[in-house]
Structure 1
Amino acid sequence: MIAFVKGKFVNKTPANVIVDVNDLGYDVNISLHTYSAIAELDSGLLYTHLQITENAQTLYGFFSLQEKELFLQLINVSGVGASTARMMLSGMKPEEIVKAIVQQNVKQLETIKGIGKKTAERLIVELKDKLAKQHNENVAGVSDVASVSFSNVGADAVTALIALGINRLMAENAVKKAEETLNNPRVEELIKTALKNI
């Protein structure tokens, strides 16, 4: 799987960007949210998700890991495909989507092209609980978490927890607490201790 691409942005549109990685061009589908973030950049890194279907292999790119994680959660909802999820991320900022789902705001979700009442309700039913804790932490402590720095082992532990399905803010808080109680831990030990803090 292609986790990210890093290189020159050869051609950018609000829907896609061609990234030159060592003379190999990747055609990456992006949201309007990501386009706004890279519009003034000549190069950079995009986190990616490769979707393989019978008829095509499509690479989706995201300026932030948070946007990628939300995209993956959205496409796991029945009836929401990659195109619809990208449309959602183009119509609303990631934090606005999370807020609308957590607050069960069906009407706001329906304003996005391709999202009807049934799909909006399904998004709320399937994602509300998963996103609620993340939303509360974003509102209450994002400034504190943003200043957190980790050792290499700590950073690896955070990455591993995110891969297990734990949102970034929870993972960082748990690893921070674990590092405070352990002395030069191995990454496996740090992960196990962090899991107890979640």
Structure 2
Amino acid sequence: MFEYIKGNLAEITPSNAVVEAYGIGYNLNISVNTYSKIHQKKEVILYLHHVVREDAELLFAFADKVERDLFRLLIGVSGVGPNTARIMLSSLTPAEVATAIATDDLNRIKSVKGIGLKTAQRVLLDLKGKVDGDMAGGGALSGVGSVARDEAQSALITLGFAKPNVEKALDAILKDDASLKVEDIIKAALKRL
């Protein structure tokens, strides 16, 4: 139904963006990879995927068509919903997900929070041959320090993780390296949670 949205980036967190287009603010669910590509921009073009459920209508937005196409393939797998696919594309870059599928890297897929052995096997089986290992993606930009921690914590809680578990994971991660970027903190936390 919707192909893309072009407008001013009014608000952004690592899990959501508000884009104003023609006086209307659209709340968009984004991955950490998309966040890293757009968070410093004033005007953006984001490719959309519209999800209609009984209780909500959601818009998922992506910085490029490759990530959106991979998202659509992932949600087509039984047991992988939109939020799980978004966590997958936040934990790994689209290129890493595509490479893992192309090379049958079960452990890489299983390392994503919310993906168990059976779901990982289903992802590899269903998407083998549909995903090209050369798919592009990635990128990393962001702030440092307590602002990065706060943004990472907010994003992880929004993704459904319990606040005490998130805080514990962030403490351990930032104890080792306090200068990590928001995306790196979230990716490390997703591996621990």
TM-score (norm 2): 0.68
1:46 positional shift: 0.3
Extract unaligned runs of 5+ from structure 2.
137-193
Aligned ranges 1:87-126 → 2 under 5 Å: 87-126=87-126
Q: Are positions 1:73 and 2:69 aligned together?
A: no
Higher RCO structure, 1 or 2 (CA under 8 Å, sep 6+): 2
Which of structure 1's runs of 4+ aligned residues deviate more than 2 A? none
Deviation at residue 79 of structure 1 after TM alignment: 0.5
Query: Partners of 1:90 and 1:73 in 2: how far apart?
Result: 16
Q: Which has the larger radius of gyration?
A: 1
Deviation sequence 1:61-115 (CA, Å, 0-9, x none): 0000000000000000011000000000000000100111111111111111101
For residue 42 of structure 1, report the CA deviation from its aligned partner.
Answer: 1.1
- In the alignment, what sits opposite 1:16? 16
Which residue number corresponds to residue 58 of structure 2? 58
Q: Which residue of 1 aligns with 2:129?
A: 129
Read off the aligned partner of 1:3 and give its amino acid letter. E
- Separation of aligned partners in 1, 2:2 and 2:122: 29
Distance 2:130 2:34 in 1: 23
Q: 1:3 corresponds to which residue?
A: 3
Question: Residue 31 in 1 paired to residue 28 in 2?
Answer: no
Match of 2:126, as an amino acid? Answer: E
**Identical-pair percentage:** 40
Structure 2 distance, partners of 1:2, 1:102, is 29
Structure 2 residue aligned with 1:158 = none
SS in 2 for 1:28: strand
SS in 1 for 2:130: helix
Paired with 2:30 and 2:71, the residues of 1 have a C-alpha distance of 11
| Counterpart Cα distance in 2 of 1:101 and 1:69 | 14
If each structure's helix is expressed as a fraction of its own residues, which one has the higher value? 1
Indicate the RMSD between aligned Cα atoms, in angstroms.
1.2
